[in-house]
């Protein structure tokens, strides 16, 4: 691992933890160093995840490492089963057991008969070869393979939201906006918001939904698995902007065969356009008279960056600045991956154009964090009711952020 001024790309262990930690009715046991889980818990509390999955770590010492001992894990599993009685216990590996070759799935198979009322599910991606987003993808897929039970479709149309996880900035607000929009447009309620607002019981019933809404590309394998088993169609998209949200609703309608409530959709559309309209003359003036300030640059999760830029450039006519994603696995010709050295150089020579990035990057650049769209953060985020970025209300929120950022530079 090289030297970093800020932080390395988050490990697979962190991606798995951020995916599982918000699931109620479960416990999670890390076979690894106790300090890892303490730091992980602090991050989760800072972003508003608490009182969900019960989090534990075994601790390991030199004897465990040198001799490959697993007695601590067996004792911890038994203690959790007696103390908490969770329906499911997730087993999370860390780097040291992965490197020395501890076979966590085999250990789970050995221990499972002793705990018939608690299901043991081992996860991977604990080593140095897997990054955050790969771990999120594999964790969502494993949940979709192991927890759902056979289920008939619900009497009234329902949906699942797949890929709302704690590693995405403002994940709770974005999920809530999509739930609100689906309820208003189609009278459809969610069976499972996987995984930011769900429980083991809700994941078990996930097969009863009529459509799966995939909120990030890491959720695609899980959606394909659910389609294969339950025949549930899925839509992969993050709806940004007014027109973008209307188009997303039309796609949902085409897949489900359910016509949206036109009065709701048109009412939301008109309200968003009405609230946005006062800012449009200023945007046109800036784009025409000060084109260097009419650019927007952005860095973060690839789906978030592409969605926000589609609204900014496609609907509001901003020009595209320097854009990058924070994972080499998601890079393409349109959106490259930037290392720490590359994004610091890009931000350092950015000028007065609008910049949306992680809280850490914005703070380093001496800018306010109002335009933050990615982690790592520099603040606590205890309020799940903050304005979203997606949907109709997200379009209004983004417009409000941009007009105030322009005014700040003006004065």
Question: Which residues 6+ apart lie within 8 Å of 19 measured at CB?
Answer: 135, 136, 139, 140, 165, 166, 167, 195
238 and 316 share one domain: no
Structural domain contains residue 212 = yes
Structural domain contains residue 264 = yes
212 and 317 share one domain: no
- Please give the DSSP secondary-structure letter assigned to residue 11: B
- Residue with the two structure tokens 């730091």: 39
Structural domain contains residue 145 = no
Nearest to 162 by CA among 243, 75, 240, 220: 220
Element holding 57 (H helix, E strand): strand 54-57
% of the chain at pLDDT higher than 90:
78
Encoding tokens for residue 201? 């019981």
Nearest to 147 by CA among 211, 230, 213: 230
Which of the four pLDDT bands, split at 50, 70 and 90, describes residue 205?
A: very high
396 and 285 share one domain: yes
Beta-ladder partners of 193:
161, 197
Alpha-carbon distances, residue 156 vs 145, 150, 179, 204, 227 (angstroms) = 25, 18, 16, 18, 19
45 and 72 share one domain: yes
Examine the pLDDT at 397 and tell me if it is beyond 70: yes
In this structure, are residues 35 and 210 in contact, taking their beta carbons and an 8 Å threshold?
no
Q: Round to whole Å and give the CA distance between 242 and 383.
A: 25
38 and 59 share one domain: yes
Structural domain contains residue 141 = no
Alpha-carbon distances, residue 206 vs 163, 174, 199, 218, 232 (angstroms) = 14, 20, 11, 18, 10
Q: Of 271, 303, 326, which residue sits at a domain end?
A: 271
225 and 254 share one domain: yes
What predicted TM-score, i.e. pTM, was given to this entire model? 0.94
In this structure, are residues 189 and 263 in contact, taking their beta carbons and an 8 Å threshold?
no
In which domain, by residue range, is 200 found?
A: 158-271
Structural domain contains residue 153 = no
Mean local confidence (pLDDT), 97-104: 68
**Exposure of 2 by Cβ count < 10 A (0-12 exposed, 13-18 middle, 19+ buried)?**
exposed
What is the count of structural domains for the chain? 3
Structural domain contains residue 195 = yes
24 and 117 share one domain: yes
Query: Which CATH number fits the domain that encloses residue 172?
Result: 3.40.50.1980
191 and 116 share one domain: no
pLDDT in tens, 45-85: 999 998 899 999 887 665 555 555 578 888 999 999 999 99
23 and 120 share one domain: yes
Mean local confidence (pLDDT), 143-152: 97
Element holding 190 (H helix, E strand): strand 189-195
Mean pLDDT across the chain: 91
Q: Round to whole Å and give the CA distance between 307 and 117.
A: 43
235 and 304 share one domain: no
Question: Which residues 6+ apart lie within 8 Å of 287 measured at CB?
Answer: 294, 317, 318, 319
Strands 119-122 and 23-24: unpaired
Nearest to 381 by CA among 49, 44, 47, 50: 47
335 and 251 share one domain: no
For the chain, report the end-to-end CA distance as a whole number of angstroms: 44
**What's the residue count for the chain?**
411
pLDDT in tens, 6-38: 777 788 888 999 999 999 999 999 887 766 677
């Amino acid at each position: 691992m090289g030297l970093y001024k800020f932080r390395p790309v988050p490990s697979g262990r962190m991606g798995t933890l951020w995916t599982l930690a918000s699931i109620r009715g479960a416990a999670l046991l890390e076979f690894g160093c106790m300090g890892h889980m303490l730091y992980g818990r602090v991050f989760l509390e800072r972003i508003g995840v608490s009182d969900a999955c019960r989090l534990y770590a075994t601790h390991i010492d030199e004897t465990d490492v040198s001799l490959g001992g697993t007695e601590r894990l067996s004792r911890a599993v038994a203690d959790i089963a007696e103390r908490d009685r969770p329906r499911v216990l997730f087993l999370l590996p860390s780097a040291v057991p992965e490197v020395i070759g501890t076979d966590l799935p085999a250990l789970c198979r050995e221990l499972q008969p002793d705990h018939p009322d608690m299901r043991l599910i081992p996860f991977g991606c604990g080593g140095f070869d897997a990054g955050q987003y790969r771990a999120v993808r594999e964790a969502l897929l494993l949940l979709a393979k192991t927890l759902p039970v056979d289920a008939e479709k619900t009497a009234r149309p329902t949906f699942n939201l797949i890929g709302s996880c704690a590693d995405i900035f403002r994940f709770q607000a974005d999920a809530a906006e999509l739930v609100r929009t689906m309820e208003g447009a189609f009278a459809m309620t969610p069976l499972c918001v996987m995984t930011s607002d769900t429980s083991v019981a809700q994941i078990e019933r996930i097969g009863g939904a009529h459509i799966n809404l995939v909120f990030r590309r890491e959720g695609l394998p899980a959606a394909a698995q659910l389609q294969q088993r339950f025949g549930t169609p899925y839509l992969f998209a993050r709806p940004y902007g007014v027109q973008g949200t209307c188009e997303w609703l039309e796609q949902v309608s085409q897949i489900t065969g359910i016509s949206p409530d036109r009065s709701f959709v048109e009412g939301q559309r008109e309200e968003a356009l009405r609230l946005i309209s006062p800012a449009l003359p200023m945007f046109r003036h800036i784009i025409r008279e000060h084109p260097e300030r009419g650019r927007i640059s952005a860095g973060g999760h690839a789906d978030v960056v592409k969605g926000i830029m589609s609204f900014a450039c496609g609907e509001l006519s901003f020009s595209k600045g320097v854009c990058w994603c924070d994972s080499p696995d998601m890079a393409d010709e349109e959106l490259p991956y930037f290392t720490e050295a590359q994004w610091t150089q890009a931000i350092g020579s950015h000028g007065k154009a609008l910049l949306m990035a992680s809280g850490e990057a914005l703070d380093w650049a001496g800018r306010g964090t109002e335009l933050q769209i990615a982690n790592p953060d520099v603040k606590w985020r205890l309020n799940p009711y903050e304005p979203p970025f997606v949907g109709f209300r997200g379009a209004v929120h983004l417009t409000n952020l941009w007009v105030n950022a322009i005014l700040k530079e003006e004065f």
